[in-house]
């Protein structure tokens, strides 16, 4: 029976690897900046990953893990992509004398993305990613107490194998200060399958600001299947290190 299960598993993986759409997969992961392009109508896509961040706050050490972080997408129209995002989160805190661990499902975010413009001269390709994060869902330590909504305006220039993508946006968490976020990332396609990127991103409000950077690679196993890896750190004086890896798969339900 175990051999039959193993054969069935490898048959399933082989089917995924060999079934091809015409266009290669593109994803929002593993970096912070979302893709500007919209997946084709009828496309169902799943993006999964592991991300680990270790921070030294001086008086205590903290570890934040998402395993997995999940994004499920569906292309509804040429200009509309529907996304549902969540994570299984683990948070660990240790000050040398006391330690605490919280783990469980994080809030669920519904995030439609709208295509706005194609690149034309100095006008970049544009899209708008919106988000609604629902309260009272998941592990109490991670729950949003009120509905949180926001947006990210995405802008991209393509120059052959090089792309330059930016985003700016904000969230309105009820009962908390409004937070503005920004990103900028340069990507380069070394081959049709192998790409790399370097990214800078941050967030700010009236009380504080944070600056971070990361870099990583993506690799197409097939047009339908991508793997990736990322390493990041902060550049605002804190001691934070992060790394992650993941996989994304798509299929077109209309083909």
Q: Which residue has the higher pLDDT, 142 or 195?
A: 195
- DSSP-based three-state secondary structure for 13: helix
| Structural domains for the chain | 23-252 (2.40.128.130)
- What are the angstrom distances between the C-alpha of 23 and each of 154, 155, 163, 191, 251? 22, 21, 18, 15, 11
| pLDDT the model gives residue 175 | 63
| pLDDT the model gives residue 255 | 64
pLDDT digits (tens, 9 = 90+) for 28-67: 999 999 999 999 999 999 999 999 999 887 677 899 999 9
Q: Reply yes or no on whether the pLDDT at 3 is more than 60.
A: no
Nearest CA among 179, 180, 155 for reference residue 167: 155
Planar angle of CA 86, 106, 200, nearest 5 degrees: 65
DSSP-assigned beta bridge partners for residue 201: 183, 212
Q: How far apart are CA 81 and CA 88, in angstroms?
A: 23
| pLDDT the model gives residue 1 | 44
| pLDDT the model gives residue 241 | 92
Sequence-distant (≥ 6) Cβ neighbours of residue 134 within 8 angstroms: 107, 108, 109, 110, 144, 147
Q: How far apart are CA 58 and CA 123, in angstroms?
A: 45
- What are the angstrom distances between the C-alpha of 172 and each of 52, 88, 132, 177, 178? 26, 23, 10, 8, 5
DSSP-assigned beta bridge partners for residue 199: 185, 214
Nearest CA among 118, 123, 31 for reference residue 78: 118
| pLDDT the model gives residue 6 | 42
Q: How far apart are CA 98 and CA 213, in angstroms?
A: 31
- What are the angstrom distances between the C-alpha of 160 and each of 5, 103, 157? 45, 43, 10
Q: Which backbone phi and psi does 16 adopt, to 5 degrees?
A: -60, -45
Among 18-22, 55-59, 126-130, 176-180, the range of highest mean pLDDT: 126-130
């Amino acid at each position: 029976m175990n051999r039959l299960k193993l054969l069935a598993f490898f048959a399933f993986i082989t089917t995924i690897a060999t079934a091809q759409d015409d266009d290669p997969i593109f994803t929002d992961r593993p970096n912070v900046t979302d893709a500007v392009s919209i997946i084709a109508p009828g496309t169902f896509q799943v993006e999964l990953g592991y991300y680990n961040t270790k921070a030294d706050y001086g008086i205590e050490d903290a570890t934040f893990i998402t395993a997995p972080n999940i994004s499920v997408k569906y292309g509804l129209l040429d200009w509309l992509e529907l996304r549902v995002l969540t994570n299984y989160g683990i948070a660990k805190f240790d000050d040398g004398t006391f330690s605490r661990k919280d783990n469980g499902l994080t809030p669920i975010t519904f995030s439609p993305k709208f295509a706005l413009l194609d690149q034309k001269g100095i006008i970049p390709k544009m899209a708008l990613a919106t988000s609604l994060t629902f309260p009272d869902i998941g592990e109490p330590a991670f729950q949003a107490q009120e509905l949180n909504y926001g947006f990210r305006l995405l802008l991209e220039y393509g120059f052959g194998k090089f792309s330059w993508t930016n985003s700016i946006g904000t969230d309105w968490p009820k009962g908390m200060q409004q937070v503005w976020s920004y990103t900028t990332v340069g990507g380069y396609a070394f081959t049709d399958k192998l790409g790399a990127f370097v990214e800078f991103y941050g967030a700010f409000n009236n009380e504080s600001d944070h600056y971070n950077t990361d870099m990583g690679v993506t690799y197409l196993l097939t047009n339908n299947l991508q793997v990736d890896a990322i390493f990041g750190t902060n550049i605002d004086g804190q001691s934070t290190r992060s790394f992650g890896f993941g996989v994304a798969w798509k299929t077109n339900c209309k083909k």
